[in-house]
Amino acid sequence: MPAIWIIAKREINSFFDSLMAYILIVVFLGLSGFFTWLYGNDIFLRGQASLDAFFGISFWSLFFFIPAITMKTLAEENKTGTIELLITKSVSDWQIVTGKFLACLVLVAIALVCTLPYYVTVSKLGNIDHASVWGGYFAMILMSASYISIGLFTSSTTNNQIISFLLALFIGLFFQILFDVISNNMTGTTGAVFDYLSLRNHFDSISRGVIDSKDLIYFFSLITGGLILSEAMLSKRNWK
Amino acid sequence: MAIEIENLTKRYGLQNAVDNISFKVNTREVLGFLGPNGAGKSTTMKIIACFIAPHQGDVRLDNLSIHSNPDEIKRRIGYLPENNPLYLDMYVMDYLFFVASIQRVEKSTIDSRVREMVGVCGLSNEKHKRIGELSKGYRQRVGLAQAIIHNPEVLILDEPTSGLDPNQIVEIRKLIKELGKEKTVILSTHILPEVEATCDRILIINRGRLVADGSPSDLRKQAQGQEILNIQLETENSPATIKEKLMQLNTVASVESEGNGQKFFKVVSKTEMSSRKNVFRTCVDNNWILLEMTGQETRLEDVFRELTN
């Protein structure tokens, strides 16, 4: 078994062991289910067989949930000193970071799989656009991965979980909404740059079912950037 | 497997935590690492275990260097960090399985290896508990078990007996001695009798520098230099006459009478000479009854204090 997966497995077990995973999945399903089916601009009000309402609400609930998942990953190890144990095992810093990243991603994926009954139900109700549903799920995975890698980085900077959580929300907020707001108030190149930085646009275009390399590059650079920074923080102990 | 430490230097801020240290540990040697708090023991061990990189210098295991082959070195080293950090929410067995697989113990042997460790470290009654539920002594055993589970050639133990009760200390020492028969062991401790009980060789480190290196008896001899005898006599003669007669012996450097009016004397011999026989003959010649004659050994504590103060 590769080291990355061994680390990820331990992490996933600890999520489920501490009930955190169950609570997270239940709250996520409850919240997104409530707004998708029962309240506000829900599926019935739209009169269309589409999961847009669900994706719209998940866009925000995942934004808040993911820092809660990632806050503990490295911050707790820094605090209890177990990071020393892990680093002195036969694994590289890179494997530690990606292992933890994968564990969080698997947890989010499990939560998303639990929402597949929505898809089945809605597809029975009418003519659903399958491409856009799968696009929506794909966009959510990409978005989650981006926020996980940001959360991992903030977790690696501190030994305080609360700080890690708030910092992740703060950084995430820029991608989630602030860049969008800034770009609306700017024109020309600056506006275009901020427009490109805003995660929402890329999320929307993928969730329409259009997979464009421009969007993929955006998400993958966000993910890689977060992971590289986390790895850098971890290997900071070796800086001279 | 021999470890070579070459010109190791590590700075924290402006302070040199480890200052140009070099030494070599041979295979099947148990090396005791001594020094006051903050002397650089843990830092040196952390560097050997590839947790932190030195500013200068290198650590070599055979042909492997911590700079170019950290992964391979980490696999060959078993490390018990100071304060023994553990995943408190994990079960003992799960934890040992996790460590075994991450240290690349062969899959088919993981099961038997974990069971063996549980036996060796005396964890059979606690193996199904969470680590967080264990007492400090048992946590220390889990720490030791995770350090030796992949059968490493080198063991680095940072204060392995801290926080244990006397019985556990004896057991752990026995275990370390047993392990030292086939492995290279470096252990650090504050407890001096522990070093004498377990180590073949002692390094004393102070303010990041090496101040002594040798076997426990070597170090004692080095510090002692001159033979010191404590004697007690029964006689009518006055202490002054006794002193005078003893001083006439050609091996004796000085005599001090100790105790008020009692006939206790401290006889210091000249360097590299022994006065035992001469003192005995003098007693016989003068009809003094010799009640006690003991050689005073320099204790390791004295060596330690002398070198690190």
Q: Which domains does chain B have, with CATH numbers?
A: 3-214 (3.40.50.300), 222-308 (3.30.70.100)
The pairing of strands B64-65 and B15-25 is unpaired
The tokens describing B79, both together, are: 């490390």
pLDDT tens per residue across span B119-160: 888 889 988 999 999 988 889 889 999 999 999 999 999 988
pLDDT of residue B235: 81
d(CA B74, CA B154): 10
Of B55, B85, B103, the CB nearest to A81: B85
pLDDT tens per residue across span B198-215: 888 989 888 888 888 888
What three-state secondary structure class fits B30? Answer: strand
Pick from A105, A28, A94: nearest CA to A230: A94
pLDDT tens per residue across span A23-71: 999 999 998 888 888 877 677 777 777 788 888 889 999 999 999 999 9
The tokens describing B210, both together, are: 């090496």
pLDDT of residue A170: 96
pLDDT of residue A106: 96
**CB–CB of A6 and B101 under 8 A?**
yes
The tokens describing A214, both together, are: 């421009």
Return residues 98-117 of A near B (CB < 8 Å): none
pLDDT tens per residue across span B97-108: 999 999 999 989
What three-state secondary structure class fits A21? Answer: helix
d(CA A240, CA A230): 18
Q: DSSP string of B144-156? A: HHHHHTT--SEEE
d(CA A127, CA A190): 41
Residue count of chain A: 240
d(CA B227, CA A21): 71
Q: Among all chains, which residue has been given the structure tokens 């003893």?
A: B246
Which residues in chain A are closer than 8 Å to B186, comparing Cβ atoms?
Answer: none
The pairing of strands B252-258 and B264-269 is antiparallel
pLDDT of residue A240: 60
pLDDT of residue B114: 93
Return residues 142-171 of B near A (CB < 8 Å): 146
d(CA A39, CA A6): 42
Which residues in chain A are closer than 8 Å to B88, comparing Cβ atoms?
Answer: 80
Minimal Cα distance from B71: which residue of A? A90
**CB–CB of A89 and B55 under 8 A?**
no
Residue ranges covered by each domain of chain A: 2-239
**CB–CB of B53 and A238 under 8 A?**
yes
Pick from A185, A179, A148: nearest CA to A164: A148
pLDDT tens per residue across span B12-37: 888 888 888 999 998 888 999 888 88
Residues 6 or more apart in contact with residue A173 via CB below 8 angstroms: none
The CB-based long-range contact list for B126-129 (8 Å cut-off, 24+ gap) reads B126/B92, B127/B92, B127/B93, B128/B91, B128/B92, B128/B93, B129/B91, B129/B92
Contact A181, A166 (CB under 8 A): no
Contact A70, B55 (CB under 8 A): no
Instruction: Reply yes or no on whether the pLDDT at B190 is more than 90.
Output: no
Pick from B87, B50, B45: nearest CA to A87: B50
Cβ neighbourhood burial of A129 (10 Å; 0-12, 13-18, 19+): middle
Between A114 and B240, the more confident residue is: A114
Pick from B100, B64, B71: nearest CA to A94: B71
Q: What is the pTM of this model?
A: 0.85
d(CA A106, CA A44): 31
Q: Give chain B's end-to-end CA distance (angstroms, integer).
A: 34
d(CA B295, CA A117): 87
When pLDDT is cut at 50, 70 and 90, the band that residue B294 belongs to is confident
Which residues in chain B are closer than 8 Å to A90, comparing Cβ atoms?
Answer: 71-72, 74-75, 102-104
The tokens describing B180, both together, are: 């030292």
Average pLDDT estimate for B270-295: 84
What three-state secondary structure class fits B136? Answer: helix
Average pLDDT estimate for B170-180: 86
When pLDDT is cut at 50, 70 and 90, the band that residue B304 belongs to is confident
pLDDT tens per residue across span B41-94: 999 999 999 999 999 999 998 888 998 888 899 999 999 998 899 999 999 999
Return residues 174-213 of B near A (CB < 8 Å): none
pLDDT of residue B80: 94
The pairing of strands B201-206 and B209-214 is antiparallel
Which residues in chain B are closer than 8 Å to A13, comparing Cβ atoms?
Answer: 94
d(CA B217, CA B133): 42
Torsion of CA B63, B56, B156, A155, to 10 degrees: -110
pLDDT of residue B225: 65
pLDDT of residue B250: 83
Which residues in chain B are closer than 8 Å to A81, comparing Cβ atoms?
Answer: 81, 83, 85
C-alpha distance from A159 to closest chain B C-alpha (Å): 15
Q: In sequence order, what are the beta bridge partners of B265?
A: B231, B257
Instruction: Reply yes or no on whether the pLDDT at B308 is more than 80.
Output: no
Pick from B209, B211, B189: nearest CA to B307: B211
Amino acid at A77: E
**CB–CB of A89 and B99 under 8 A?**
yes
CB hemisphere CA count around B152 (13 angstroms): 31
Cβ-based neighbour number of residue B33 at 10 Å: 25
H or E segment at B209?
strand B209-214
pLDDT of residue B17: 87
Q: Among all chains, which residue has been given the structure tokens 């009692």?
A: B262
B6-20, B223-237, B238-252: range with lowest mean pLDDT: B223-237
Q: What percent of chain B clears pLDDT 70, i.e. is strictly above it? A: 97
Residues 6 or more apart in contact with residue A198 via CB below 8 angstroms: A175, A177, A179, A180, A183
pLDDT of residue A84: 92
Average pLDDT estimate for B217-234: 77
pLDDT tens per residue across span A193-214: 888 898 988 998 888 888 889 9
d(CA A202, CA A196): 8
* Average pLDDT across chain B, whole number: 86
The pairing of strands B64-65 and B201-206 is unpaired
pLDDT of residue A140: 94
Contact B54, B18 (CB under 8 A): yes
C-alpha distance from A31 to closest chain B C-alpha (Å): 29
